[in-house]
Amino acid sequence: MATRKNNTLKLSFETGWKYDPAPESKSSAKIDPRYELFINGKFEKPLSKKYFNTINPATEEKLSEVADANVADVNKAVKAARNAYDKVWKKMPPKERAKYIYRIARMIQERAREFSVIETLDGGKPIRESRDVDIPLVANHFFYYAGWADKLEYAFPNRTASPLGVAGQIIPWNFPLLMAAWKIAPALATGNTVVLKPAETTPLTALKLAEIIQEADLPPGVVNIITGAGATGAAIVNHPDINKIAFTGSTDVGKLIQRAVAGTNKKVTLELGGKAANIIFDDAPIDQAVEGIINGIFFNQGHVCCAGSRLFVQESVYKEVIRKLKDRLETLIVGDPMDKNTDVGAINSKQQLSNIHKYLKIGQQEGAEMYQSSCPLPSKGFFCRPTLFTGVSQSHRISQEEIFGPVLAIQSFRTDDEVIEKANNTPFGLSAGVWTDKGSKIFNLTTKMRAGVIWANTYNKFDPTSPFGGYKESGYGREGGLHGLSAYVNLT
């Protein structure tokens, strides 16, 4: 049955059968030509007087320009957050705080379509993902943490949880609004105030969230959203009146941050890079596993910190898995992210695309064999063909370094011990996947693998109740669930 299905897919592809375009309408998305900084409940012109463009990576067209916050702007935002913390937010009864967070969650749900469209236009991810994954999870995070706001004594029995103060939050471009929700929702629920900086290439949904925060009548200064590049992030990290830094991004910048806060009283959580192993045993449901592997690395163009970018296949099913992966690769639809049929959208920026191309060259120079989908790529915008590498060895850079693109490095293995050793042999430890019919094998691997999240017979599943975070160079601290609350409180 499975074989017949695959043959059908292959045949459809070979005969040139295609889906008609099914573009999502842009009409729900109102994007202003310019955005200011959201400080103390108002949109304020930057003291820097500077702006930069944000583009649509699928068309290279300018979408808007946003303020470039300098040190003086960061000072202003931190001052507003401190004032709101001291005078309003920390004194507010928790159940009142909860009402605001619930209100934000409901407003995001009401405007989910608009948020999805803007997320896709600004970042390049397929509309299907923004619509079905990112934005629903954003609302769920706000709902989940709103629920905890007045129940902290149950979250931390026999302890008293008090807020830390002002949280500086810096987020990347791969899940722009979701990362903002991961950070803002638990901070507010525990009584902290916030200065948040989205990534340079994807600032728009955070600014739209600022509009919602304003409409929700959140007291001015409780959440401040300022845009800028790395220098703005560094100004947040170095600000003396910030009590907590929550950062999600690359391991390189994470290390800089760790150095900058050493010797200060700032608390820090770092969610950094990954090089996850996805492991298929010969007793796994192979078709289901192949689909999971494809989802694990090509979902969001591989712009996922926990992407299953290394695949380990047990030797006896190696040939079968590779053949099925190649067949499936051919059927992936690469192109316009606004098309509801698209599986693989645009790479987030020109810089990221050239970084991926650099690794494609490195992989070939190292002697691995590259296989790419033969799909056509749009003539404009930043796109990359889904890519598999076979003949990869442990020492290859493509199996050690984070590529952050739709590139899968494949190796084979024979025994459990061998694959555990190989899977653990990277500087990272964020996530992993195991595909097998045997529960005992799953338990054996999950206890021996050094990864924060391990999925069994599925991949890339997220839930606000579940903690997320890494070992080793993937960072420290957990976000999500109860663990996510404890990152924002002092316990006595």
Residues that bind ligand NAP (CB under 6 A): 170-174, 197, 199-200, 229-230, 233-234, 237, 248-250, 253, 256-257, 271-274, 305, 402, 404, 430, 470, 474-475
Query: Residue 230 binds which entry of ligand NAP, Mg ion, none, with Cβ cut-offs from 5 to 8 Å by kind?
Result: ligand NAP
Nearest residue to ligand NAP, using CB? Answer: 233
201 binds Mg ion (CB under 5 A): yes
DSSP string, 12-72: HHHTT--PPP-BPPSTT----SEE-EEETTEEE--TT--EEEEEETTTTEEEEEEE---HH
119 binds Mg ion (CB under 5 A): no
Query: Quick one: which of 136, 67, 129 has its CA closest to 338?
Result: 129
For helices 176-189 and 135-148, what crossing angle results, to 10°? Answer: 10
Sign for the CA dihedral angle at 303, 306, 312, 317 comes to negative
Contact 102, 143 (CB under 8 A): yes
122 binds Mg ion (CB under 5 A): yes
The least CB distance from residue 398 to ligand NAP, in Å, is: 15
Among the listed residues 114, 305, 384, 479, the single catalytic one is: 305
Annotated catalytic, 271? yes
The least CB distance from residue 364 to Mg ion, in Å, is: 30
The least CB distance from residue 186 to ligand NAP, in Å, is: 14
Separation between Cα atoms, residue 357 and residue 361, nearest integer Å:
6
Per-residue b/e over 311-321, b at no fewer than 16 CB within 10 Å? bbbbeebbeeb
Q: Which is nearer to ligand NAP, 131 or 197 (CB)?
A: 197
Query: Quick one: which of 445, 448, 450 has its CA closest to 472?
Result: 450
Query: Residue 122 binds which entry of Mg ion, ligand NAP, none, with Cβ cut-offs from 5 to 8 Å by kind?
Result: Mg ion
Query: Quick one: which of 331, 354, 351 has its CA closest to 343?
Result: 331
Separation between Cα atoms, residue 473 and residue 476, nearest integer Å:
8
- Give ∠ CA 268-250-310 in degrees, rounded to 5: 120
User: Using CA atoms in the order 353, 298, 144, 452, what is the torsion angle rounded to 10 degrees?
Assistant: -90
The least CB distance from residue 35 to Mg ion, in Å, is: 12
The least CB distance from residue 122 to Mg ion, in Å, is: 4
Q: Which is nearer to ligand NAP, 199 or 216 (CB)?
A: 199
Query: Residue 258 binds which entry of ligand NAP, Mg ion, none, with Cβ cut-offs from 5 to 8 Å by kind?
Result: none
Residue from 54, 116, 460, 474 touching Mg ion (CB under 5 A): that is 54
Query: Residue 54 binds which entry of ligand NAP, Mg ion, none, with Cβ cut-offs from 5 to 8 Å by kind?
Result: Mg ion
Tokens representing 152 are 């902290």
Among the listed residues 271, 402, 473, 479, the single catalytic one is: 271
The least CB distance from residue 67 to ligand NAP, in Å, is: 13
Annotated catalytic, 330? no
| Binding range to Mg ion, per CB under 5 A, among 44-52, 114-122, 210-218, 480-488 | 114-122
Q: Which is nearer to ligand NAP, 274 or 335 (CB)?
A: 274
Tokens representing 104 are 């934000």
| Binding range to Mg ion, per CB under 5 A, among 28-36, 119-127, 157-165, 459-467 | 119-127
Separation between Cα atoms, residue 97 and residue 113, nearest integer Å:
26
Q: Which is nearer to Mg ion, 230 or 467 (CB)?
A: 230
The least CB distance from residue 33 to Mg ion, in Å, is: 14
Q: How many angstroms from the chain centroid is the CA of residue 113? A: 19
| Binding range to Mg ion, per CB under 5 A, among 52-60, 90-98, 277-285, 354-362 | 52-60
The span from the first CA to the last CA of the chain, in angstroms, equals 60
Q: Which is nearer to Mg ion, 200 or 473 (CB)?
A: 200
Active site residues: 271, 305
